[in-house]
Amino acid sequence: MNNLHRQFAVLFVAAALVLTLSVRAQDEKPAANSDATTAKSAKAPEPAPPPDSTTQGSIDAGGQHIAYTAVAGTITVGATDTDDAQLGPDGKPLPGSQLALAAPKEPADAPPVAHMFYVAYFKTGATAEDRPITFFYNGGPGSSTMWLHMGSLGPKYVETAGDTHLPGAPYKLIDNADSLLDVSDEVFIDMPGTGFGRLAGKDAGKAFWGVDQDAEAFARFIARFLVKYGRWNSPKFLFGESYGTTRSAVLANVLENEKSVDLNGVMLLGEIFSFPMATGGPRPGMDLPYELALPTYAATAWYHKKLSPQPPALEPFLKEVEEFAMGEYIHALAEGNNLSDAEKQQVAEKLHDYTGLPVDYLIKANLRVTAGEFEKTFDDPEGMTTGRYDTRFLGPTLDPLSEGSEYDPQSAAISSAYFSLVNLYLRQNLKYGEGQTYLPHALFDGAGWNMTRTGGSGFRNALGLNVSADLAEAMKTNPRLKVMVNDGYYDLATPFFAAEYEEEHLPIPASLTKNIEYDWYESGHMAYVRDECRKLLHDRVAAFIKSADGVQ
C-alpha cells in the first residue's frame, strides 16, 4: 500500500509546501507537525478551536423534501483513554483532573490532543432512536474526507461527469438528489491533522498517526459525538473509503470489543484489508496480487475497446476472466521457473486476449504485470497513461521511458474541483473556517504513518498489514453486524476481485457469510464520480440501512 500512499500524496505536494507556510503563520505553530519543532517554537497558549457553526438547509432526495440542520465544528480527543476521560466537552482538562493539576509550563509539553473537524447533517424533527446515523471518512492514510463529503451522499456534490480532465473554474456544486439524508443522518469526519482539524501537544503526530492510534482516535470521537448529540440509542453505521475501509475493520473491532458500542452495519468502498495483496510493486514468490488485479485489467481493456473481438457485455466477460485468473493463470504462476516456454506462450496469448497488452511484453514481464506497469503500458502506443483510481481516465505520459506510471490522471482531472469547492462550501454555506487553512491531506512533515497493528487479533507478519481478523472478530462478537462491500470495476488502487477474495477468506463461521453483501459499479475507486453510479450507490446503501437489524 505504500505505492498507493505515494500516488495519493503526490497530488498535494505542491499545495502542501504552500499550506505549511500559511498554517504556521496563521496558527502560530506547525499545524500537523512531528513535534520536536513544535516543542521548541510554541510559546503562546494554544488557541482554542473556533466555535461550532450551525446552519439550516433543505434538499429533495429519495422522493422527499428534507429540511436539515448542519453543524460544522471540532471535537477534541485525547491520545489515550486515560487522557481522554480527563477532557471536558470543550476539550480542556477537567478542573481537578491529573491533566489540569500537572499542566506543563510550555503548551508543547502538554499531553497530545486532536481537534478533529467534522460536518454533521441532522434531519429536522427526527427522533434520535428512530433515526440511523452514519459516520463517513476517507483514507490515504492521511486524507481528509472532502472526497466523500463533496462527492458521494451528502447534500451537495461536485459535478464530475465524464472521464476526462474537467474544464477550469468555475466548477459546479449541485444539490444532491442522491443524498442519504432520506434514510440516515450523516457525519463526515476528517482524520486528525486534516481539514480544519489540528494536532497539539507533545509528540502529537506519533500519538495519532498510525493504524492503532487512528482507530482509537475515531472511536473516542464517535463516543464523544454520541454524548454531545444524544445519539447513543440511534442505529449506527460506518462508511469508509480506501484506507478508510482498513480503519473501519479496526474501528469496528474497537467499538464492539473495547467501547461496548454495537454497530448495525459497516459499509466499505474500495476495500483494502490485506496490504500484501496490493498491486503496487513486485513481490517475488507472491503471485496472488497479479491474479486478483487481472479482472480490473480486463475491465479496462473492455472499456477502452482494446479487445478483438470486443465482448458485448462487461459482467459475463469478467466472470470468464475471473475463472481464468483462479484457474489456468494461478496454476501457471505457481509453476514458477518450471513453467515451460510453450505454456508461458499460451498463457501470454490468453492474457493478451483479456488485457490487450502485447504478447512479447507479457513474456518479458514473466506474465506478471504490476498496476503501475499496466497503467504506463496499456495505452503506451498513444503516449497515454491510464488512471489508477479510475482506469476510464487517460492522461499524457510524463516520461515515455519510464517503466511505470508517474501520476494518476483521474486524480489530476478532478482534484482542483473538489479542493476549490470544499473551501467555498464550508465557508460560504456552512459559515465555518474564516481565516483558517483547510488541509486536504495531513502534513506528515517526517512523522509518517505507523503501519503496525498491535491491538486486537489483526494478522501481523513480515509481509505487511492485514486487518481481516479485526472485522472477523467484530462480526463474531456481534453476529448481527452486517457488512456491505462496494467497489468499482475500474478501480486499480483496490481491485474489486481482491475485495471479494478478502471477504471470502475472513476467518468467520459459514453462518456469518450471509451478513456480507457485494455491490459492484461501472466506475472506479470513487464510484460516486459517475452520476449513474452515485444514484445506484445511494439506492443500495439506503436499502442496506433499512434492512439492518434495529432499523425501523
What does pTM read for this prediction?
0.90
Looking up cell 434514510 gives 183
Higher pLDDT, 50 or 426: 426
pLDDT of residue 11: 36
Domain membership flag for residue 12: yes
Instruction: List, in order, residues 6 or more apart from 221 with CB less than 8 Å away.
Output: 75, 77, 116, 118, 189
The phi, psi pair for 176, rounded to 5°, reads -100, 100
Average confidence score pLDDT of the chain: 89
Residues 397 and 421 occupy one common structural domain: no
ω into residue 409 within 30 of 0, thus cis?
no
Last residue of a domain, one of 354, 376, 409: 409
CATH of the domain at 518: 3.40.50.1820
Number of domains in the chain: 2
The phi, psi pair for 47, rounded to 5°, reads -65, 140
Domain membership flag for residue 235: yes
Range 99-116 average pLDDT: 83
Residues 469 and 359 occupy one common structural domain: no
- Reported as a single tens digit per residue, the pLDDT across 18-64 is 333 333 333 333 333 334 434 343 445 556 788 999 999 999 999 99
Last residue of a domain, one of 367, 391, 409: 409
Residues 163 and 292 occupy one common structural domain: no
Which of 183, 294, 165 minimizes the C-alpha distance to 537? 183
Higher pLDDT, 484 or 34: 484
Domain membership flag for residue 199: yes
User: Could you write out the DSSP letters of every residue in 469-504?
Assistant: HHHHHHHHHSTT-EEEEEEETT-SSS-HHHHHHHHH
Residues 228 and 307 occupy one common structural domain: no
User: How far, in Å, CA of 235 to CA of 247, rounded?
Assistant: 20
Residues 255 and 147 occupy one common structural domain: yes
Residues 187 and 145 occupy one common structural domain: yes
Domain membership flag for residue 552: no
- Reported as a single tens digit per residue, the pLDDT across 127-185 is 988 899 999 999 999 999 999 999 999 999 999 988 999 999 999 999 999 999 999 99
Helices 288-303 and 314-324: crossing angle in degrees, nearest 10, is 160
Residues 80 and 163 occupy one common structural domain: yes
User: How far, in Å, CA of 351 to CA of 362, rounded?
Assistant: 8
Higher pLDDT, 311 or 280: 311
pLDDT of residue 36: 41
Q: Is the pLDDT of residue 203 over 70?
A: yes
Domain membership flag for residue 195: yes
Q: Where are the alpha helices (DSSP H) in 36-159?
A: 36-41, 81-85, 98-101, 146-151
Last residue of a domain, one of 361, 379, 409: 409
pLDDT of residue 132: 97
User: How far, in Å, CA of 471 to CA of 440, rounded?
Assistant: 28
Range 469-478 average pLDDT: 97
Residues 496 and 521 occupy one common structural domain: yes
Give, for 520, the enclosing helix (H) or strand (E): strand 516-521
Amino acid at 196: F
| Residue 383 exposed, middle or buried by CB count within 10 Å (0-12, 13-18, 19+) | exposed
Span of 28-37, 133-142, 287-296, 471-480 with lowest mean pLDDT = 28-37
pLDDT of residue 49: 81
Query: Which domain, by its residues, includes 195?
Result: 2-276+415-547
